[in-house]
Amino acid sequence: MSSTRVVVTGLGATSPVGGDAPTTWSALLDGTSGARVLDDDWARDLPARIAAPVAVEPTEVLERVKARRLDRSGQFALVAALEAWADSGLADSGVDPERLGTAIASGIGGVTTLLSNYDKLRDKGPRLVSPLAIPMLMPNSPAANVGLALGAQAGIHTPVSACASGNEAIAQGIDMIRLGRADVVVVGGTEAAIHPLPMAAFANMQALSRRNDDPTKASRPWDVDRDGFLLGEGAAVLVIESAEHAKSRGARVYAEIAGAGITADSHDIAQPDPEGKGATRAMQMALAVSGLEPRDVVHINAHATSTPQGDVAECLAITHALRDEIDQVVTTSTKSMTGHLLGAAGALESMATVLALHHRVVPPTINVDNLDSAVKLDIATEQRSLPDGDIAALNNSFGFGGHNVAIAYRSA
């Protein structure tokens, strides 16, 4: 594969802390939590009744008829993609449609469409199942609808690897450009799973925080009192393109997307490898394919979901990957504020990593009142600045199934 340089030229998001990328970034820097108690009737009997819903409903932004033909996850993706596209300037400078692709992932797909149509089937019979149900609920629907909106013809992709899906989509976008299949790829992740069935299932796995009386304190990565993750929803999208293509049109470059490392634990379907060996290899691979050394890395946006086992395993993995250079690395978990967006997590956190390099400031991890003694990293419990000069950062995402995807970014 060629070593074509790839850069990030557009960002978009709709998240629990903001309806667009600038609002989201500003809320992250301020340490704002997007968590709240779900007061809907359907949530009353759930063991975990807290979540981080999007700050702005997509139906307030999208045309009504367009919105009703999309699953909620597709609505989020389209909102984020249209923002990223406008931000990239490509609407004006243009791109050959046959050289434009999309890779937008989801961990669970159109689960709310599937289940609401099942309710209709059970209550009113097959005639009432929507003829739009399949194109709405298929996991590739967000990527395909974004592709339709932007006229992308170089290929539409939807990698599925649970909570690593967003980063895997970004990795696939890099590959498309380096394999010469596209000049521009709209990459990201989306998730809309705040529904009683996934919430009951995650709770029954003992994966969710049950801090129902104090939702903004529920997501507390690396704190001794962490008791599981907080489910978030939303989407983030990045426009990535070959450096040559970006230069030819005079595009603003946020950061260089240097490379991806992808590995599998082969340890357990849901538990992380306790030593984080697969995660270590993913970070090492991301650095190696990017031509980076551990000493270049000054920041990590960690996967750190606020689960007892996962947070510690990742710390070990980071320590093993960066070895003697670990003291200069500022690590944060923006999930402390957004909750865990599952298949959108990697995309949202990659956006935060890119903006951290661009503005040279790291958002805080909130709620670390008592740092777990097993954590030997420099955790940003408040906003931290990053050094001048050429710097690099990593974003980690791991998923049920043993997926590990680390993406390396370099300052522009």
Partner 1 sequence: MASTEEIRSGLADIVNEVAGIPADDVQLDKSFTDDLDVDSLSMVEVVVAAEEQFGVKIPDDEVKNLKTVGDAVAYIENAQSA
Rule CB under 8 A: choose which of 39, 41, 63, 92 binds partner 1.
63
Choosing from 195, 299, 303, 358, the catalytic residue is: 303
Instruction: Summarize the chain as % helix, strand, coil (round to 5).
Output: 40, 20, 35
CA distance 27 to 33: 8
Interface with partner 1 (CB under 8 A), residue total: 10
Residue identified by tokens 């009703």 is 68
CA distance 184 to 104: 14
**Interface region with partner 1, contact rule CB under 8 A, candidates 86-94, 123-131, 244-252, 368-376:** 123-131
By CB under 8 A, residue 125 contacts partner 1: no
Smallest gap from residue 71 Cβ to partner 1 (A): 15
**Interface region with partner 1, contact rule CB under 8 A, candidates 23-31, 59-67, 78-86, 341-349:** 59-67
Residue identified by tokens 């299949």 is 181
Smallest gap from residue 146 Cβ to partner 1 (A): 20
By CB under 8 A, residue 412 contacts partner 1: no
By CB under 8 A, residue 128 contacts partner 1: yes
Q: Are 190 and 165 in contact (CB under 8 A)?
A: no
Q: Are 188 and 134 in contact (CB under 8 A)?
A: no
299 is catalytic: no
Furthest CA-CA distance within the chain: 64
CA distance 27 to 34: 9
322: how many CB neighbours lie within 10 A of its CB?
Answer: 24
CA distance 10 to 90: 9
Rule CB under 8 A: choose which of 59, 130, 153, 212 binds partner 1.
130
DSSP at 373: T
340 is catalytic: yes
Smallest gap from residue 252 Cβ to partner 1 (A): 35
Rule CB under 8 A: choose which of 2, 92, 122, 127 binds partner 1.
127
**Interface region with partner 1, contact rule CB under 8 A, candidates 47-55, 63-71, 248-256, 399-407:** 63-71
Q: Between 131 and 250, name the residue whose CB sits nearer to partner 1.
A: 131
Q: 131 to 150, contacts with partner 1 by CB under 8 A?
A: 131-132, 135
Structure tokens at 88: 């990239």
For 336-365, letters b (16+ CB in 10 Å) and e give bbbbbbbbbbbbbbbbbbbbbbbebbbbbb
Choosing from 163, 245, 315, 358, the catalytic residue is: 163
305: how many CB neighbours lie within 10 A of its CB?
Answer: 26
Q: Between 6 and 133, name the residue whose CB sits nearer to partner 1.
A: 133
Smallest gap from residue 128 Cβ to partner 1 (A): 7
Q: Between 44 and 124, name the residue whose CB sits nearer to partner 1.
A: 124
Q: Between 124 and 376, name the residue whose CB sits nearer to partner 1.
A: 124
Q: Are 195 and 276 in contact (CB under 8 A)?
A: no
By CB under 8 A, residue 64 contacts partner 1: yes
**Interface region with partner 1, contact rule CB under 8 A, candidates 127-135, 202-210, 285-293, 368-376:** 127-135
Question: For residue 122, which amino acid is it?
Answer: R
CA distance 411 to 308: 33
CA distance 231 to 305: 10
245 is catalytic: no
By CB under 8 A, residue 122 contacts partner 1: no
The residues annotated as belonging to the active site are: 163, 303, 340
Footprint on this chain of partner 1 (rule: CB under 8 A): 63-65, 68, 127-128, 130-132, 135
